[in-house]
Chain A
């Protein structure tokens, strides 16, 4: 093996390793905050000197985090299945008539502000977790549908023709050629969708879905800036952790695809 080839391989391994450094760092910071906020009385007292209770204590932060992740997770699983599924369906020959409809519906979903969706959903679905999941789904669908469509449509036509011509079944063309080649673009869409929804999910606190939005809403109502900062800090760190995990996944995918 030539020395420059060796160097390339070593630097590739290095990028693959450093890619996981950020998720680790942000994750550690998140954990420190969850454990440390209840003990940081001094800092938050300095922010709100006139308030007696500066640490949000109604529900422990790790419980709020768990609920938050669950809501975003459920919404993400549904949006990904729906979005990627719809993207695949309308790029098949049988479904191509629905392509304009699906891409317009997905765009429409994002033009509705989540707050409006919540206001409309509560009378129908009642208070609690369900309306916020519906709002997140509608809001997060567009980036996934759009990127799935872009990724699949970007696959070289000649490669698809060749795949068919050598005798791959339509399903094999999808799984062995189209999806692997579109994967980086689809993953970028999922990343955008999930990261936005981690922030948006906080709105759930206004309709009785308890999550990391609780301290923020409680802080606004009681005019307690310390609560707001605690909620916002944990949500921001959660978003950064998840975003950096996606970034690492994308780096890995890119390395595998170009593998140079």
Chain B
């Protein structure tokens, strides 16, 4: 668990972070979002003491970070940055094994761990172990960066715009893989990004920052439904908010059982997002889709009219509450 209370950072007289409070529970994926210069990277770097805070208190599992030796603290925290920061004069395998080597693991354990991580991140050992960073594509290099951060199995992972420099296709692929990894490993992650779609997709705790302040924080859904001010609303996509919200819900949560009418000829798998379903309706000029399971067997129906009605009901009930 990471807890920041009244944490501030001044560079000279300039204030970068102003008395922020933030709590990241164990296993939570927390995304810090905001425009450039809002203090999100500074906040991240104060956690592993790359930058020393000016004021306030940061605790890891209840213990103040000043109680740890900075070098030992950093070896317990994985760190991934946009430019990968891989050592260009070391092979992929040596880069990944860096922290275990610093922690003086036996050579055999290091090798086994490196091979395990390369498998986990889809980097075939025979092909990549002896390559150097400049021989890798951007996506491959960032996989190595993530593997290095995970090498000593840290509880905490800090990621500073890790996918910001990748092309859109590779970025989405790595986001999906990170989501898959997180579902298995349950790390406590603090993730800095200015890409709201990335944050909405990965995070279960969203923190919007501006000018060193936290403007609003909560679950992605709660922020989408109740943005606090026009800044948060515009950051969340303004009019597109509805679609972004739809992207967070699955088709199976909105489907109804098969009606008496014939099922629609257009099919959508139950674990697709509602956003994808809406897009399909627009593309195929239909207001009904047949929902199918993994074996392509119809199990229900999705109707545009019903979705809209549900949304109205939800809004009404919220107004009453």
Contacts and interface: CB of A to CB of B under 8 A. Distances in A.
Interface of A: 156, 158-159, 161-169, 172, 176-177, 180-181, 256-260
A161 B81 contact: yes
A33 B102 CA distance: 53
B89 A166 contact: no
A162 B87 CA distance: 9
Given A161-B50, A181-B89, A257-B88, A166 B83 contact: no
A167 B75 contact: yes
A56 to B, nearest CB: 48
B85 A165 contact: yes
Contacts of A259: 132
Interface residues of B, number: 24
14 contacts: A158-B81, A159-B86, A161-B81, A163-B85, A165-B48, A165-B74, A165-B81, A166-B74, A166-B75, A167-B74, A168-B71, A169-B71, A258-B132, A260-B132
Contacts of B134: 258, 260
A75 B99 CA distance: 40
B79 interface: yes
B83 A158 contact: yes
A259 B83 CA distance: 21
B85 A162 contact: yes
A257 to B, nearest CB: 5
A177 B86 CA distance: 10
Contacts of A158: 81, 83, 85
Contacts of A159: 85-88
A222 B156 CA distance: 80
B98 interface: yes
A72 B73 CA distance: 48
A164 B135 contact: no
A171 to B, nearest CB: 11
B89 A161 contact: no
A176 B97 CA distance: 14
Contact of A167 (B71, B81, B83, B135): B71
Contact of A180 (B74, B89, B149): B89
A176 B71 CA distance: 15
Contacts of B88: 159, 181, 257
A167 B71 CA distance: 5
Given A164-B74, A168-B71, A172-B102, 8 more contacts: A159-B85, A163-B85, A163-B87, A165-B79, A167-B74, A167-B75, A257-B89, A260-B135
Given A158-B85, A159-B88, A259-B132, A166 B50 contact: no
B72 interface: yes
B98 A166 contact: yes
B267 interface: no
B85 A161 contact: yes
Nearest to A155: B88
Interface in B33-80: 48, 50, 71-75, 79
B80 to A, nearest CB: 9
B310 to A, nearest CB: 46
A169 B86 CA distance: 17
B252 interface: no
B187 interface: no
B148 interface: yes
A103 B193 CA distance: 40
Contacts of A177: 87
A176 B90 CA distance: 10
Nearest to B82: A158
A156 B85 CA distance: 9
Nearest to B50: A165
